[in-house]
Every structure is written in C-alpha cells, then in structure tokens.
Chains A and B, each alone.
Chain A
C-alpha cells in the first residue's frame, strides 16, 4: 500500500518535470513556426515576436519556393541522407563488431586508430587534396565517402555490442555459425535501439551538412538544402553590400528553418517505438 502511494507521487513528479521540459522546448519552436506563418508587417508590429499568429499567410513559403532551387536541393539532401546513412551503418557495424570482441589480437591498435581520429585531423587542405585525388570533386560522393565512418559512432555501437551477454555468441559458435552470420542475424537484430540511435546521428549529420558541399562543389545544382538555407540566414545577418540584394525577411528565414528541418523532425516519432524493444533480449535469453 505504501509502495503504491509512493509510486503515484513519483509518477506525478515525473510528469510535471517532463511537462516543464516539453514546455521549455516548445515555446521557441512555436515562435519559429508562428513567425513563418504571420505576415511580416504583423511580425514587426509585435516587436519581431509572435507566438500565436492571428492572421495566417503562406507568403513566406511561397517566396521560398520561388527562389533558389529549393526542390532540387531537397532532392540532393534526401539522396545523400538515405544513401549515406546506409553506407555509414554498414561500415560502422563492420568496424564496431570486431572491436567489441575483447580477445581480438591487435584490438587496441585498431581502437587507438579509431580514437585518434576523434582528436586529430589533418585539416581542410590535405582533406581536400585527398578528396580530389580520389576523384570526388563535384560529385555527390564527396558528401558521403569522406565521412563514411564516424569514430564516435563506432565507439557507441561497440559499447552496445559489448553489453550483449557472452553466452549468446558462444552458443551460436557451437552451432557452427560464421561471424558474418552472427553479426547480421544475431547481434544487429538484438541491438536495434543502438542501430536506430546511430543511424539517426548519421542521418541528421547528413541532413545538416553544408560545409563539405561548399568546399567540394563548384556546381550549384549539387548543393544540398542546408547550403540554400544557410544562404538565406547569412544574407539576413550581413549588411547589404549590393544594392540589388534582396534581404530575406525574418518570416522567410523562419519558413526556411521550418522547411529544412520538418522532414527530419517527423522521422523521430516513428523511430521512438524501437527504443522500447528491450524485451527482445529477454525473450531470447529465456
């Protein structure tokens, strides 16, 4: 009986804190969203801030689409995100699985190889030279291959693989399974939350990337979405240098932000159910 009351109190406090977190997160987003839908003059009249639009217009979105090849840029972004993330996940798991086997001879050499790249990098010029030497300049692969494996993500996946009980592997090996089969039929299915997490990290990384595009592309038609969005944001930050320059209004900036993040935002709720798949492990063990 005592436990029950205590539990209820605990639930209430949890809900309250979570509600607060939700509120603190949503107000600024509401602002971005509302501004993007409000006529610009209305925004200015309210000192630049609108939380609930009284009058709704899609003018900012319309202008956004009129300019700057947004649809094509969106296509580029979706392509590099989908293809890139698949390559990332494959290569990352292939690296992480052997490294999670503590008895692998030379494991620490490989691990150090991975960790050092988190700390040290050659810099933009030698990286550019390598990208050029591998023939990727002005190719979308330049946005995928140079970041094909992220060391941080390798370590995360490895750490999750290490959590899997050793008996699992032993029984599989006794059954005569090869390591590739163990990885793809046992380890990966048991690590869905980790794979989803790292996949999300990679996907968001691709989605938000713009620097590689600016460095490696001279062809405008290969620019991803974030380059275009950044252009809109940068322009509104700088003083007008050319008389002709059209400074994007704050409503257009917000429309660009919403448009550029909405697709990746709506992916997340669909991934969330995979975070509660912990019971899988229990069922196999039992």
Chain B
C-alpha cells in the first residue's frame, strides 16, 4: 500500500530535478561574470563605470576576528579616502567557516576581489583557472609590494610560486614566539639552578612535582604541562629532531621528523618523564588553552609556549592576581641535549597569509588597478605606517621620527593587522606595540631553532592526511605512555608507509623542497 506511492513520487522527483538541471547550469557555470553580476540588488553607485568620482567597491575576505563595524573602522575610512574606494572586509572568526564560505561563494561566482587562502587552496584554485596569474604584474604593477615583502624575507616570493607561476601575494611571515617557560619563584624556593640541559630539566621537573613548590602541603603540582606532543618541542630539539612530521634539513639532506634516527631517543626521553610522573597526566588531552590556565593556576612549573600567551600585560596580571609571587621566565638558551639545543623547529620562510585575486577581475581593469593600488599602498611607507599604528595624533604621536603609541592604540588597534595585507617589519613593529615584552620577543626571535620547510610541502592526491595524522598521533602516544614498546618503532613506520601511504607524502615533500632549492 505505502510502497506503491513511490512511483509517482520518483516521477515527480525526476521531473523537478530534470527541469532544474536546465535552470541551474547557467547559474553555476558563469564564474566569469564575477562580482559585477553577482549582486543584482546592490546600489548602482558602486559600479566602476559610474562617474570617476564614485568610489570603487572592493570586497576583501579573510579568516580573522576583532574587526569593528565600518563606521568605527578608521583604517578603512582612511584608505577609502586616500584611494577613492569603498573597501568591504569580510572577516570570519572560524577558519573552517571561512573555508566553507569562500568555496561556496566561488561556486556561486560571487568572488571577493582580494581574499586570503591556504597554499593548498592556491594550488587547487589556480589549477582550475580561477585565479589571476600575477607573474606579469609582480615586477611592474605590484613592484612596491614585491620590494616590501622581499626586504624582510628574500625567499618569500618563491614560497608563493607554484609551477613557476605566482598566483598569490605573500604576507611577510611571523617571527617565532615560543620558548620553554619556567617558574623562577619555584626554582628559588627549592634552591634550584635554572636548568640548562634536558637532564637538569628532568631533575627540576621532579623537584617541582615532589617537593611542594607552592608550599600548600599537598602534592598537587607537576613539572611540565602543555597540549599534545608539541608540549615536548624542546625535547625533540635537544635531540636534534624537528618533531613529528616536520620537514627539515639534516646532514645536507631533507629529513622528515618521523624518520630522524634521533626520534626514538627523543620519545624514550619523553617516556621517562611521563613514567616519572612529572608531566601533567592530561597533557595529551588538554585543549582550548586550558594548559595555559593550568600553568597560571600553579599546577605546573614549566610550559612550552609563545610569549604572546605568557608575557602580554593582561596575562602577567592574571597570574600575578592568582599568586603575586609567581614569576614566569623563559629558559634561554634552549635546553641542551645529545643533539644540540633548539627550541623546536620553525618555518622561517612561511608566508603568514596568501592573498589571491580572481581571474574574473582581469576584465575589470579599473577595479584590478584599485586592488593593486590597495596592495601597494599598504606596502608603502605611508600606508604601512597606517595599517601598523593607525592614525597619527589619535593612535600614535611622532617624536623625532619615532612612533609613540597612545592609550587608544592599545584599545582600538587590535584589528589593524587585518589590513596589513603584505605584512610589516616584525621587529620594529613588535617593539613599538609591545614595549613591555621587548625582551621576551627578542629571546624568542634569537633562540636557535631547527629550520623547517613545511610550507613548501603540499600533500599528493590520494594521500589521506587526516587518517595518517590520527594514526601517528595515536601510536606516538602509545610509545610515550608505554602502551607500545619503542622497539616496535620500525614496525610503526612500516604500517605508516604502507597502510597510510606516508611514504608518498614524504617523497612528494622532499621533491617540492628540493625543487624550490632550499636543500640540494
């Protein structure tokens, strides 16, 4: 009785679907129409063909947060006035949401004029012919921007180049922030010396766990906290290994962290720490910054973390409020181990963003020119100062050519970086913006690290990174918690290579790094 009703249903469904197939093909196919056709309901004043005085509407999109509403956005207003544009920035807080939105918009032919994506997306989008090839423009129309990024990082253009073509404008990379932090007041209380080697660190961790450094009479502290295997970055560094999955140079060759002969030794050391009970038992499950809260609460005396989470004024105020004697300091130079002394690995040449322009914009020369103007402007001395420090007289004052920030800069200036399309000279910038953290910043920048090349590596097709990552994470944790003997490490690698095709990924990575000329 019921099932018989399926006939008309499937007929209707077929009809409905069929008629729509015809209807929709025009919609989804017309990507070349681009932005101009995308919004029938918009006011006409934004169209570039209008009177020359009408501002050109430029849509920018990125994953970021903290953007104020347009009427409170001094940077937007200043740029608009300067370039005669109407700059519309869409910033979405969650990277995953942004990724979805940008794909869906592209599928609908509703391109932003300038948007930020990951390197893998640059490749995918450019392969599909969706992106404007910037190679012909970079030396002339975008010369200011090019000179600006190269002045800070000489390899950066190379990093954004795929198959000898430049599809993205790279943003100057970040400087490293992370180091090992330790409670100086705990060291003092227990009459311990600042550790300089991994073994000394182990001894200190033991003392922090067993000798009641907080003096509350309870054994409720640990040596080290953190989140997941990255909490042990300085251990890997001390053994001369770049950490799981990282690509770096070792003995003149490309090395992948899992294959480093020092890897099992580093894991063994980590296991000895966990066995000794000096590590936060929840270290592998901590997430959502809970590990920093634990550190602030005095549950652990060491953490590998960026100064951005430990030394900014508001954070110092937080842990001082809990315990006025608390004093977190960086361990510098990094802890020495059998393989050297490194605060983990760092990819120095990684652009911090990749900005792309849709191919469709080629047809709208006037607008394309405005986008170029925008990129060049924020790369010029005047424009770069605007997007770094805001408005003179409001967010900063000039004194003998030096930028003196006002109180408003700290209050309003947290979103300026969204407009730093090509980046900023980091050292100068951080010193002015974070004067109280200058020492910590400097320590983090100067700390020796293993130079990584991860941003040169794109996974080959057919390799499921999610499966491989899950497997590796699970097995590494079994090794360090003693659920699987370290003697089986070669077996782990074998399964990793065969079942999870890690070998194809490593080979692709090695080739890409050699092709870019980072390692011979």
Contact = CB atoms under 8 A, between A and B. Distances in A.
A87 B364 CA distance: 41
Nearest to B429: A243
The list of the 5 closest CB pairs from A to B, nearest first, reads: A41-B321, A231-B93, A108-B5, A237-B288, A218-B90
A239 B178 CA distance: 12
B65 A220 contact: no
A234 interface: yes
B61 interface: yes
B94 A240 contact: no
Interface in B1-60: 2, 5-6, 8-9, 12-13, 24, 27-28, 38-42, 59
A109 B27 contact: no
Interface string A224-237: 00000011001111
Nearest to A210: B97
A218 B61 contact: yes
A242 B321 CA distance: 25
Contact of A137 (B67, B110, B289, B309): B110
B208 interface: no
Contacts of B8: 109
A2 interface: no
A220 B64 contact: no
A242 B417 contact: yes
Contacts of B41: 135, 138-139
Contact of B70 (A133, A215, A220, A240): A220
B245 interface: no
Contacts of A221: 69-70
A250 B290 CA distance: 10
Interface in B243-294: 287-289, 293
Contacts of A40: 318, 321
Contacts of A112: 5-6, 9
Given A237-B288, A244-B414, A218 B59 contact: yes
Nearest to A124: B104
Contact of B322 (A41, A214, A236): A41
B108 A132 contact: yes
A132 B417 contact: no
B350 to A, nearest CB: 12
Contacts of A237: 287-289
Interface in A112-151: 112-113, 116, 124-126, 128-130, 132-133, 135, 137-139
B415 interface: yes
Nearest to B40: A135
A220 B5 contact: no
B66 interface: yes
B12 A45 contact: no
A198 B222 CA distance: 52
Interface string B405-420: 0000000011111000
A135 B42 CA distance: 10
Contact of A69 (B69, B107, B296): B69
Given A214-B92, A236-B289, A245-B66, 15 more contacts: A41-B321, A45-B322, A47-B297, A108-B2, A109-B9, A124-B104, A128-B104, A129-B108, A215-B100, A219-B88, A220-B69, A237-B287, A239-B289, A239-B306, A242-B417
B430 interface: yes
A276 B383 CA distance: 66
A156 to B, nearest CB: 20
Nearest to A218: B90
Contacts of A47: 297
B436 interface: no
A244 B314 CA distance: 12
A129 B289 contact: no
Contacts of B308: 240, 243
Contact of B433 (A69, A244, A245): A244
B492 interface: no
Contact of B417 (A130, A231, A239, A244): A244
Interface in A95-117: 108-109, 112-113, 116
B496 interface: no
A139 B41 CA distance: 9
Interface in A233-259: 234-240, 242-247, 250
A72 interface: yes
A205 interface: no
A189 interface: no
A219 to B, nearest CB: 7
B177 interface: yes
Contacts of B177: 243
Contacts of A215: 100-101, 104
B434 interface: yes
Contact of B293 (A48, A135, A245): A48
Contacts of B101: 214-215
A155 B59 CA distance: 43
Contacts of A116: 9, 13
A247 B309 CA distance: 9
Interface in B88-118: 88, 90-95, 97, 100-101, 103-105, 107-108, 110, 112
Given A44-B296, A215-B104, A245-B65, A129 B28 contact: yes
A14 B69 CA distance: 52
A238 B288 CA distance: 6
Contacts of B88: 218-219
Q: Which of A132, A236, A240 has the most CB of B within 10 A?
A: A132
A48 B90 contact: no
Nearest to A235: B65
Contacts of A247: 289
A246 B66 contact: yes
B2 A41 contact: no
Contacts of A214: 92, 97, 100-101
Contacts of B68: 68-69
Given A214-B92, A220-B90, A240 B309 contact: yes
Contacts of B38: 132, 137
A88 to B, nearest CB: 23
B413 A244 contact: yes
Contacts of A234: 65, 93-94
B20 to A, nearest CB: 9
Contacts of A67: 66
6 contacts: A41-B318, A116-B9, A128-B108, A139-B41, A218-B90, A250-B293
Q: Which of B40, B66, B112, B288 has the most CB of A within 10 A?
A: B66
Contacts of B95: 238
B5 A245 contact: no
Contact of B306 (A72, A218, A240): A240
